[in-house]
Structures are given as structure tokens and as C-alpha cells.
Structure 1
Amino acid sequence: MRYLVTGATGYIGGRLAPRLLGRGPEPDLVPDPDGGPVEVRCLVRNPDKLRDVPWAADAEIVQGDLLDPDSVRAACADVDVVYFLVHSLSEAGFAATDRRAALIMAEAAREAGVKRIIYLGGLHPDDDPADLSAHLASRAEVGETLLRSGVPTAVLQAAVILGSGSASFEMLRHLTERLPVMVTPRWVHNKIQPIAVRDVLRYLIRAAELPPEVNRTFDIGGPEVLTYLEMMQRYAAVAGLKRRRVLPVPVLSPSLSAHWINVVTPVPGSIATPLIESLVHEVVCTEDDIKTYVPDPPGGLIGYDHAVELALARVTEGAVETRWSGADVEDVPSDPLPSDPEWAGGSVYLDEREQACTAPPEDLWVVVKGIGGEHGWYSFPLAWSVRGWMDRLVGGVGLSRGRRDPDDLHTGDALDWWRVERIDEPTAADGETGLLRLRAEMKVPGRAWLEMGVRPEGTGSLYHQRAVFIPHGLPGYLYWWAVAPFHGIVFGGMVRNITRTAEREAGTAPSSGKTGRQAARDAA
């Protein structure tokens, strides 16, 4: 079975491609009626966007443009199923662009003898197309164009897709997290039938098994119908936020709403505007014929609350490293992927610094591993003390716990107001690379980590430091921006003084007559 995935650098395509390759949690889900190998070809304009994606080495990545008939014809050659998963939402004149791309694909697929086209469109009411928003009207037009291609086509129509990276979900996430009090227009009371991204992917994969005579649209949605307001309130409940207060306004146009969302959220206005304009429609499934061909999984479709939990799971479970290090999260479609836009995945604030050090890695690691307690934090001691006192005043642990051992650390150890979440001792096998990750246990409106890494570089080493903060509600955002001006002093001082201490103790820097730790504390 040969698949062509267009839009592999996008939200859905980037999650579908690895599953077609059997890289997902349900490898048996991929249809292979001929019993032969599964091959996946991805047509992309910029292959560099897939450079760091773990599954790309298993796929055939071809460069081309959906507006170029020659490259589309070449991509469709010897293909059984085409997934058309593109939408030029952020571009001016997106309707004309998508119309032309659909016409080119329809002709190329027909000429190549493609057995099926599968398109993910937008759920919309059965109104006159002239009454639909530009976004939904364009989605409907593309679907009709592909249905008339002469190639059996399945158009799956979905409303809000729930998962980190989905533009609609990110807009909902940021509005709810950042606005404890909201002025809302009338459209927040319109009904929506959202669907979890896992269920969308399941429908897309199984649609390749549809009988050849099936050429039609299918409505797909989750098990619940909610208003946008209910979706925000239930998101807040799942995320552990206080119930949002809503001030209804009788007149607030979609364009004004989009401008406000562009200010409050990181979702670009070019994307937010057409999405908001589409929310004036109620988008609820009018049929569930897809279940005739694709029955629900044994546990049923994923409900709204659980879908939100899945989108937040990496933070909730404490496995935040897979969120902000670009690790392989292909088995969890609700998570962000490296190919997702920068505004996907919720707010994660970073302070990242590194410094070359003339000391060998093993000597730098000794300093890193000995941080905290009586050795201190190598920068601005007064600031650390004041923050510790403030934490104690509000019931936190402050700096009173110190450390169990002045020189040794283990996973789970308390370290002042931190907890050792991960410690990788450097070994000769990994080239003397070490990693220490601390999770904050101070009172703070969010979750915080401090990571310190050591690796060889030339005759010395490289020290890498990263502070990570995931805000919780509006207080979390305010907290980060309140302390951000001090990061240069605190975190910058740590980098300089940790490396200087290692150099002095290793004898690779001029001696001041003091020990490395004494000199670093004096410098701080």
C-alpha cells in the first residue's frame, strides 16, 4: 500500500504520517489489504521542516508545490491513497489558493490511477455556501472539487480538533488560561461537537479501507455537544484553574473578537480571524454514517475532558522534558511535535544559556553536582535568600532543607526548594556527559525546572543551563514577567560562576589564592 501525504509538516499530516508507517501506538490500525509493505511519500515545499522529525527517515520525502502540476503528478505516481491535508488559512486569498490546489490534485490523482482520496474538511451547517464563513466555505468547496475528481473520495468533516498544536484548541487554551474574566460575544453560546485528535487520526487511517463505490462526505465528531463557553469552563476545570467569570456582551463582531484574540493569545491574527468568523455557525454532526464503515473503538470515542487531559498530560505527569526538548512524541498525538508552529503546545518560558569552560567535564560536573546547600547557588545570594524567605512566608519550604549530602545527589533528593528529578552521571561511555534536572517545590503559580548539563568540548567542556517555567493561569504569566528582568543577574551569574569555579578547582584558570567555591561566592 502506497500513501501520499500532503501537509506532512502541518498539524494533522505530521501526526498521520508516522502512524501510516506503523510508528504509532496502534501499528495494526494501518490497512494493508494486499499484504505488502507500507510506503509513505510526503510532498512538502520545504523538506528542512522535517529534518528533526524522527519518522522522516522511514518515509520518502519529495519536494514540490501543490500549485505546480508537474510536481503533483510526479508525487501521485504509483500511489494508492492520497491524503489531502492542506489548507492555506494564514495566507491572503486562501480560498483561491486552495481551490487551485484541489483542482490540480484531482486531475493528477485521476491520471495516476489513485484508488482513493481522503480529505479532512470542516464541519459546517447545511446552509447556502454564500452564508458560510470564508473558512468553512473554502473547506466545503475543496471537498466538492475532490468528490468530482473521478477518484473515489472520502471527505471527513470535523469541528474543533482537541490536541496540542491544533489552532482551534490553542486559541481555546490561551483564552482560558490567560483570562480569568472574559467579555464574550454571542457566539460563545453556539453549539460545537469537538473531537479528539486521536479519533480524527483513526478515522483518517480507516477511511483508506472504504469500498471503492463510496464517494461522499462524512461528519465526524466526539461524543459530546458543547457550547464554546462550556468548553472554556471545562478546560479550566481540567487544568485546575478557577471557574472563569464571563461578562456577556450583546454586540461584539467576529472581527473585533479576532483582534482581541490576536492581542491575548500567540495564535496569529491571520489564523484567528477566519476561525473566529466560523464560530458564528453551530457545527454539530447531522449524521454518523461513518460508524457503518469505522465502528467506534472498544472504549468508545474520547470525551472532551479526557481529550483535554491528554493534551495536558505531559505536564500533568511531570514528563515535561518531552514538551520542551523536542523529543520523540509521535506516539502521543495530543502532544506538540517539532514541526508544529512555535505558538503550539501552551506557554513554556525558557531562560537558556551556555558557557565554554577550560576545566575538563569531570571537574565541571563536581561543581554542578555540589550546587545548593552550604555551597550556595553561585549568584546573587541576597536574591536567593529573599526568595527563600518569601516562600516560607506563604507556607513553602524556602531554603531551609539544604541537601542530604554536601557532595552526593540521587534522584528524589531534596535540594533547598528543589527536588532532584533526574541525574545522569557522566561516564566514559557517553563521553563524560552529565545532566542534573531539578523540579521546583517552592510556592509558585506554575511549574518550574532548572536543568544543568555538562559535555566535552575540545580540551575542556561546555556548560549548558536551562530554566523552564510553565505558567498556571494569569498569575503564572504575571509572575514570569515580574521576575524576568532579574534573570540576567541570577541565571547569568550562575553560568559564569559555576564555570569559573570549575576552572579554578581544576587549575585551568589563574589562581586568586582562594578556592574556586570561595572565589565564586565572593564574585556573586
Structure 2
Amino acid sequence: MRCLVTGATGYLGGRLAPRLLAQGHTVRCLVRAAGRLRDVPWAARAEVVEGDLRRPETLPAAFADVEVAYYLVHSLGQADFEAADREAAGNFATAARAAGVRRIVYLGGPEPAADDHPSPHLRSRAEVGRILLASGVPTVVLRAAVIIGSGSASFEMLRHLTERLPVMVTPRWVRNRIQPIAVRDVLRYLIGCATLPPEVSRAFDVGGPDVLTFGDTMQRYAAVAGLRRRLILPVRPLTPSLSSHWVGVVTPVPNRIARPLVESLVHEAVAHEHDIARHVPDPPGGLTGFDEAVRLALTRVRDAEVETRWSTASGPDAPAEPLPSDPAWSGGSTYTDRRERRVDAPPEALWRVIEGIGGEHGWYSFPLAWSVRGALDRLVGGVGLRRGRRHPERLYVGEALDFWRVEEIVPGSLLRLRAEMRLPGRAWLELRADQTDDGVSRYVQRAVFLPRGLAGHAYWAAVAPFHALVFGGMARNIARAAEQAARAAGPTPGHPTTPRGAAG
């Protein structure tokens, strides 16, 4: 089946396209700038066409020979997003009808009650659905509320509010009911609706198995994330407009996006029917519950592989994790300290120093600081530095190394350690030995910290001023030790015989 995906550089389109490809469909992506998909691994298997839904002359080539067209774009964040979405949906509908497209699939928002005055965001989503249903092309409109997955704007607001604020003064709408749905269930519906018979042309409510208040979602997020129960104090004067500014301050979600989303929360968003199950049956184990959806979203980094996990995202859980095309504010907070040094020694000499780290060799910087950190860890019930290492020269995946655990080794190249000291978050230390073009080495050191709650952010802020001393000294001294070892061993074939000295 030939599918056109609009919004392939966005949250859902970027997750839908590779799953369509995996099922053997031909995928064409309509984007305004093809370069935004350049580094996305699945894009090489898709056809990428540049065009703009607000420029109808660019659309015929994109719609040519297409059987199913997905409308997954919106203009949220623009000054007049309602007018922009109205124009884009009209052009999309006209182009689909002219090209003989057999099916349109659109993901919209929940339908407010008839006596409500819908927010501009929900009003626009509903208007787009009506335009597509009136196109003359069989259309499915999926109406979803909060989508749970790393990168979803609604989920990112929930994540950051809950993690950063143990006490919250909130608007009264925090008691309104919503029916969240896991992103993998949304994708399952999007794919399943592509093959519906032409007589099915209507809107469907879609939601997960749990109906919760927004306050409930924050408490249950906190429980899954291992945070203490949050104190939530609803107050009357906090209007949606004031709330959106508050969300913009506390979370990295831009105010121009937060405001229309917050304004939408004054409406309850609960599915009124589950007719979609007659056409796309529920999976054998049922739809994904809220707690499981959050758990999947929080496995966004398996574990320290912050920059690489998305590249193998093909399993059923992967849609909840971030992609490189997601906005910069998605995926939760990750703090990184990166150091890089040129080392006048062959990579094998540098690797020997890396693999010998810890235990009697120490950590190559400010021994007192490491000793104090180990003592403090023991004081609060942690493992401290007493575990040492089992072998003075060799390390193995899974073994203890002082207050770290060896998580990954690529012999001669990579050592990744996972912290087991008591921390308000999760931490890793990654040490690499890379060979340069001129025959010497490059040492790359990366410390990664994923904070848990406000205490995690405060912890990183407190220790960050000492990183130049601890991590900077560590990188400098490891490089120096490798160079000294190389000089002591004598010239190496293909390696310069005149030392440069410490780099940096």
C-alpha cells in the first residue's frame, strides 16, 4: 500500500512512518525541508518530497499514486493557528480528492460537550476533522486526549510539572477527568485504519483503559517515577491564561504551545464510545494502562545511551522513547559533562589506563573529593568506595567497581559505568579511547545524569561548580598517564617517537 505521511518530522509522523515501512508499505513523506530527515535512519527507505500544505501548487507530486494519506500536522504555536490549520486542511482535502486517494486518516483532539465553549485548540482540531470528512474521500478521524509518550507536548508538561514541583498550587481544572492513551496504541489505530472499507467514514473516540483526573495523572506519574506523593492545592483564581505562563516558567514547553494546551484542560476529555474496536480490535492483552505507558516513556534512555537509543527503535515499546526529530524540550532532563583531549599515545596505551581505573589506581583526580563522596555514600546507606575491583587490569560487564557497576565494555574502545551510589537520579560515566587520523589518540569522557524530582536538579546544580576540578582533572590525568606509559614502553611502530606532552 502506498502511504503519504504528513508531519513526518513531528511527534507522531516520525513514529508512524518507520512502522508502516516495517509492515511492507511504501511510504512517501511530505515535508517543508527534506534536510530535517537527513539523519533519521528510516528515511533512506522512504521517499521524501518537499512541499507545503499552505502552498497548493506543491502538493500534486506528493499525492500522486497515493492510496492512504495521513494528516498529522498542526500549526499550534503560530499566532493564528486556527486560520493556518483551516487553510492547510482544505488544501490537503482538495489534493487528496484530485489524486484519487482512497483513504484519509487524521488524528485530532477530544470532542467537547455540545454546551461547552471549546478552547481555540480543540475548536481548530474539530474543524480540521470536519473539513477532511467533507472532502469526498473516505476519512477516519481519531479523537484522542492526552497521549502518553516521551515527546508528546501534553506528556512533557505532565512530566516536568510532576518532577520539579513536590508542592503545586493548581487551577480547579486539575480535578477534570481525562482518558490518556499510550502512543503505541495510537499508532496501532493509525495503521489499522488504513485498511478500513470505504463505507467507514466517520470520527472515533480513542482512549486508554484508565479515566483519571489530571491530578491523578500527576500522582500516578510520581509513583511510577519513584517520587514522593505530590501535594496538590487547587485554587479558584488561577485562570488558564495564568496557568499557561506558570507552565512556561516551570517546564521547557514553550508558552506558545503550553497556553492552548492548558486552555483545553478546562474541558473533560473522556471517550464517549469505543466503536473503533469493531474495526481495529483491541490487542490480546488489552490497551496499555496509564502506569505502563508512563513506565515505557521513562525508559527513554536505555539507560546511558541517550544519543543512540532511537536508532534501534523498532520494538513495541520504542514509540514511547524520543526521536532525533522530537523538539529539544522533549525527553526529560539530561545533564551531561563532556571532556575531550588529544593524547600523544597509541589507543592501546590509553585503553590500558581506562580499563585499570578505580580500586588501587584511583580515579585520577582530587582523591580527597572521591574519598569524601564515598564516605558520604556509606553514611546514607550506600556502597561507598570499599568494593574496589576484583582484578587490577581487567574489567568485565556486570562487576562492581568502587561505587560503580560495569555496564558495557567494548575492548580497546569503550567503558561505561553505571553509578550505584545513593543519588536523586541515575548517573553514568563513559570513557572512550578513539584513534585519530595522525596515529595518536583522542580521549572522550562523558558523565550523564538523569535527575529524579526537584532534588535531582538541585543536586546537579550543587555539584556542577566542582566538575572542572573533578572531571576536568580526571581527563587531564588519564591522558597524562597514558602518555607516560607510552614513553616508558618505548617507540611503537607507526607512532611518533617525540612526545607532545599533555594536551589541552
Cα distance, 1:500 vs. partner?
1.8
Does 2:423 align with 1:444? Answer: yes
What is the SS of the residue equivalent to 1:374? helix
1:127-146: CA deviation from partner (whole Å, max 9, x where unpaired): 368x1111111101111111
1:369-403: CA deviation from partner (whole Å, max 9, x where unpaired): 11112212112222212212211221222222221
Does 2:86 align with 1:99? Answer: yes
Alpha-carbon distance in structure 1 between the residues aligned to 2:226 and 2:380: 20
- Quick one: which amino acid aligns to residue 466 of structure 2? F
Preserved contact between residue 21 and residue 58 of structure 1 (Cα < 8 Å): yes
- 1:430 aligned residue: none
Distance change (3 Å), C-alpha of 1:389 and 1:141: same
Cα distance, 1:508 vs. partner?
9.5
- 1:21 aligned residue: 21
- 1:346 aligned residue: 332
1:214-272: CA deviation from partner (whole Å, max 9, x where unpaired): 22111111112110001111111111111111122122001111111111111111111
- Quick one: which amino acid aligns to residue 303 of structure 2? V
Cα distance, 1:313 vs. partner?
3.1
Alpha-carbon distance in structure 1 between the residues aligned to 2:79 and 2:430: 42
1:141-196: CA deviation from partner (whole Å, max 9, x where unpaired): 11111111111111111000011111101110111111111111100000101111
Does 2:279 align with 1:300? Answer: no
What is the SS of the residue equivalent to 1:449? strand
- 2:408 aligned residue: 422
- Quick one: which amino acid aligns to residue 486 of structure 2? A
Alpha-carbon distance in structure 2 between the residues aligned to 1:77 and 1:126: 39
1:273-322: CA deviation from partner (whole Å, max 9, x where unpaired): 1100000001111122212211111111111111111112356xxx3134
Q: 2:262 pairs with 264, 267, 276, which one?
A: 276
- Quick one: which amino acid aligns to residue 264 of structure 1? V
Does 2:381 align with 1:402? Answer: no
Alpha-carbon distance in structure 1 between the residues aligned to 2:63 and 2:81: 23
Preserved contact between residue 43 and residue 63 of structure 1 (Cα < 8 Å): yes
Preserved contact between residue 149 and residue 183 of structure 2 (Cα < 8 Å): yes
Alpha-carbon distance in structure 2 between the residues aligned to 1:300 and 1:496: 54
- 2:498 aligned residue: none
- 1:516 aligned residue: none
- 1:47 aligned residue: 34
Distance change (3 Å), C-alpha of 1:462 and 1:93: same
- Quick one: which amino acid aligns to residue 281 of structure 2? P
Q: How does 1:9-408 map to 2 (within 5 A)?
A: 9-22=9-22, 27=23, 38-127=25-114, 131-314=117-300, 319-326=302-309, 327-331=311-315, 332-408=318-394
Alpha-carbon distance in structure 1 between the residues aligned to 2:367 and 2:34: 48
Preserved contact between residue 171 and residue 234 of structure 2 (Cα < 8 Å): yes
Preserved contact between residue 182 and residue 246 of structure 1 (Cα < 8 Å): yes
TM-score w.r.t. the length of structure 1 is: 0.90
What is the SS of the residue equivalent to 1:182? strand
Preserved contact between residue 221 and residue 294 of structure 2 (Cα < 8 Å): yes
Alpha-carbon distance in structure 1 between the residues aligned to 2:303 and 2:386: 26
- 1:478 aligned residue: 458
TM-score w.r.t. the length of structure 2 is: 0.94
1:330-351: CA deviation from partner (whole Å, max 9, x where unpaired): 4311111121112211111111
Preserved contact between residue 324 and residue 348 of structure 1 (Cα < 8 Å): no
What runs of 5+ residues in structure 2 fail to find an aligned partner?
A: 491-500
- Quick one: which amino acid aligns to residue 83 of structure 1? Y
Alpha-carbon distance in structure 2 between the residues aligned to 1:61 and 1:19: 16
Does 2:433 align with 1:454? Answer: yes
Alpha-carbon distance in structure 1 between the residues aligned to 2:374 and 2:33: 49
- Quick one: which amino acid aligns to residue 121 of structure 1? G
Cα distance, 1:56 vs. partner?
0.9
1:32-55: CA deviation from partner (whole Å, max 9, x where unpaired): xxxxx6210001112222222121
Alpha-carbon distance in structure 1 between the residues aligned to 2:163 and 2:260: 22
Alpha-carbon distance in structure 2 between the residues aligned to 1:329 and 1:379: 37
Cα distance, 1:488 vs. partner?
1.6
Cα distance, 1:509 vs. partner?
12
Preserved contact between residue 150 and residue 300 of structure 2 (Cα < 8 Å): no
- 1:497 aligned residue: 477
- 1:435 aligned residue: 414
- Quick one: which amino acid aligns to residue 506 of structure 1? A
Alpha-carbon distance in structure 2 between the residues aligned to 1:486 and 1:163: 35
What runs of 5+ residues in structure 1 fail to find an aligned partner?
A: 28-36, 427-433, 511-518
Alpha-carbon distance in structure 2 between the residues aligned to 1:323 and 1:502: 28
What is the SS of the residue equivalent to 1:55? helix
What is the SS of the residue equivalent to 1:333? helix
Preserved contact between residue 397 and residue 442 of structure 1 (Cα < 8 Å): yes
What is the SS of the residue equivalent to 1:88? coil
Alpha-carbon distance in structure 1 between the residues aligned to 2:209 and 2:280: 15
Cα distance, 1:94 vs. partner?
1.2
Preserved contact between residue 439 and residue 448 of structure 1 (Cα < 8 Å): yes
Q: Which moved more, 1:390-399 or 1:254-263?
A: 390-399
Preserved contact between residue 314 and residue 322 of structure 1 (Cα < 8 Å): no
Alpha-carbon distance in structure 2 between the residues aligned to 1:497 and 1:46: 45
Alpha-carbon distance in structure 2 between the residues aligned to 1:467 and 1:223: 39
Preserved contact between residue 177 and residue 214 of structure 2 (Cα < 8 Å): yes
